[in-house]
């Protein structure tokens, strides 16, 4: 089949890791006899520099033609002036909202050969296989009013944490469905002791749990959850949370895997609308990390989170499960043979470059 994929590298290490994702796509295309048409688009800081717009019409037209989007990351010190009118992040926030990508799935899986790369004790990591379902188009990131202003008594700023019943229900539905298809365990994260949005979230989760009697629902306050993810990570299966909490908890959970550079994500508008028949709006796939300005340009970034995002795309957007599995297996075998980028290197191993890691993984695809 013929698939059109928008390639949006963004800034910093975004272009470095997405080049490795493209290598993988070329191998899958050849070995499994598919046709991937790659459509290049510019976004974020790079697009501000070229078009004075973080998401120019040229890029929107590329997205319009695509069946799925591969995205690197946007942002960096060059565009960080707090008074700047244009922000690179506005590019990705616009895409999430306009494509209705409210469900962000972030699988936290541990590759056995990397257990020593994590600062967490190995006996806590053996059974870890978590999927975080993060609400992606609501909450503090989008709520209004959202502004800074000057008063006689000094400067002020406001962000708004707002959620509607329908927004909460649709993300919880995705989480309950996923939990039903896995180990029937769902941890719903909120701050119901302090926040009204948290109390509404908890109330709706409790009501909906009646429709999923097989799923064991647990409510956990976000502060407690942040501790338990490190202390008892193996106890979690599916975790669901609002936008900001999900963002923070997944960066924390990435430590379990050895590095932030290991975790992929899928941003979807529904859990079940992806199949071989093409969808109207594309889903978006990106690693959870940012542009890593501290290592950008050095060729040492870990491309595995980006490559695993390709596997998620093949699986969720195109229904190519065998191909997605082949990518997972090639990463597993490359790590088992001792190949490591700098962020996951431990004693006895030598670090290889981003590009070399991409070569090793693509060569290992069967
Ligand atoms: P970051 O994720 O870019 O980096 C955090 C730390 O993790 C750094 O030490 C970095 O070197 C390391 N790291 C991240 N990815 C790595 C990889 N693939 N391989 C090896 N090490 C890796 O977070 P930050 O430093 O807080 O943010 C930097 C910029 O990225 C900011 O401008 C921020 O707004 C942006 N950002 C963008 C996105 C996105 O586009 N979706 C997400 C998060 C942050």
Q: Which of the following is catalytic: 129, 159, 251, 359?
A: 251
**Concatenated DSSP letters of 234-284:** GG-SEEEE-HHHHHHHHHHHHHHHT-GGG-EEEEES-SS--SSSPPSS-EE
Residue 279: what pLDDT? 53
Distance, in Å, from the CA atom of 46 to the CA atom of 91, rounded to the nearest integer, reads: 11
Q: Which CATH superfamily is domain 119-255 in?
A: Isopropylmalate Dehydrogenase (3.40.718.10)
Chain-centroid distance, C-alpha 218: 24
Ligand 1 near 300 CB (within 6 A): no
The pLDDT tens digits of the residues spanning 102-153 come to 999 999 999 999 998 888 888 889 889 999 999 999 999 999 999 999 999 9
Please state the length of the chain: 366
pTM of the model: 0.95
Shortest-distance Cα residue to atom 4 of ligand 1: 292
Name the residue among 131, 59, 61 with its Cα closest to residue 88. Answer: 59
The pLDDT tens digits of the residues spanning 88-105 come to 999 999 999 999 999 999
Residue 276: what pLDDT? 47
Name the residue among 244, 129, 132, 143 with its Cα closest to residue 188. Answer: 132
User: Over 90: is that where the pLDDT of 261 sits?
Assistant: yes
Say if 1-118+258-366 and 119-255 have the same CATH topology: yes
Q: In this structure, are strands 2-10 and 35-40 parallel, antiparallel, or unpaired?
A: parallel
Ligand 1 near 288 CB (within 6 A): no
What's the token pair of residue 163?
């959620």
Name the residue among 278, 288, 291, 343 with its Cα closest to residue 317. Answer: 278
Our answer to whether residue 51 is catalytic in this structure is no
Ligand 1 near 301 CB (within 6 A): yes
Q: Is 213 exposed, middle or buried (0-12, 13-18, 19+ CB in 10 A)?
A: exposed
Q: HSE on the CB side for 44, CA within 13 Å?
A: 21
Q: What is the CATH number of domain 1-118+258-366?
A: 3.40.718.10
**Sequence ranges of the domains in the chain:** 1-118+258-366, 119-255
The atom number, within ligand 1, closest to the CA of 304 reads 18
């Amino acid at each position: 089949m013929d698939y059109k994929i928008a390639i949006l590298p963004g800034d910093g290490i975004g272009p470095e890791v997405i080049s490795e994702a493209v290598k993988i796509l070329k191998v899958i295309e050849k070995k499994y006899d598919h046709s991937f048409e790659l459509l290049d688009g510019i976004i974020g800081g790079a697009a501000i520099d070229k078009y004075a717009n973080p998401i120019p019409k040229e890029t929107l037209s590329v997205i319009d033609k695509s069946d799925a989007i591969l995205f690197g990351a946007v942002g960096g010190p060059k565009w960080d002036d707090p008074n700047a009118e244009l922000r690179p992040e506005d590019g990705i926030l616009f895409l999430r909202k306009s494509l209705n990508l409210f469900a962000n799935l972030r699988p936290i899986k541990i590759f056995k050969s990397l257990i020593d790369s994590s600062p967490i004790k190995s006996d806590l990591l053996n059974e870890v296989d978590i999927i975080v379902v993060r609400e992606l188009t609501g909450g503090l990131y989008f709520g209004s009013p959202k502004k800074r202003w000057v008063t006689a008594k000094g400067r002020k700023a406001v962000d708004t944490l707002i959620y509607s019943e329908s927004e909460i229900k649709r993300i919880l539905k995705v989480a309950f469905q996923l939990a039903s298809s896995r180990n029937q365990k769902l941890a719903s994260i909120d701050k119901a002791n302090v926040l009204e949005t948290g109390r509404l979230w908890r109330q709706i989760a409790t009501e909906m749990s009646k429709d999923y009697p097989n799923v064991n629902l647990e409510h956990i306050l976000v502060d407690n959850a942040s501790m338990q993810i490190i202390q008892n990570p193996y106890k979690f299966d599916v975790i669901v949370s609002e936008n900001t909490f999900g963002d923070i908890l997944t960066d924390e959970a990435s430590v379990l895997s050895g590095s932030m550079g290991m975790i992929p994500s899928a941003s979807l508008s529904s859990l079940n609308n992806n199949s071989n028949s093409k969808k109207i709006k594309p889903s978006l796939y990106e690693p959870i990390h940012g542009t890593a300005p501290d290592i950008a340009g050095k060729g040492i970034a870990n491309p595995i989170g980006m490559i695993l995002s390709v596997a998620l795309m093949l699986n969720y957007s195109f229904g190519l499960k065998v191909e997605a599995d082949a990518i997972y297996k090639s990463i597993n075998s490359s790590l088992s043979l001792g190949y490591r980028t700098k962020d996951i290197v431990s004693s006895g191993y030598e670090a290889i470059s981003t590009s070399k890691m991409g070569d090793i993984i693509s060569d290992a695809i069967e």
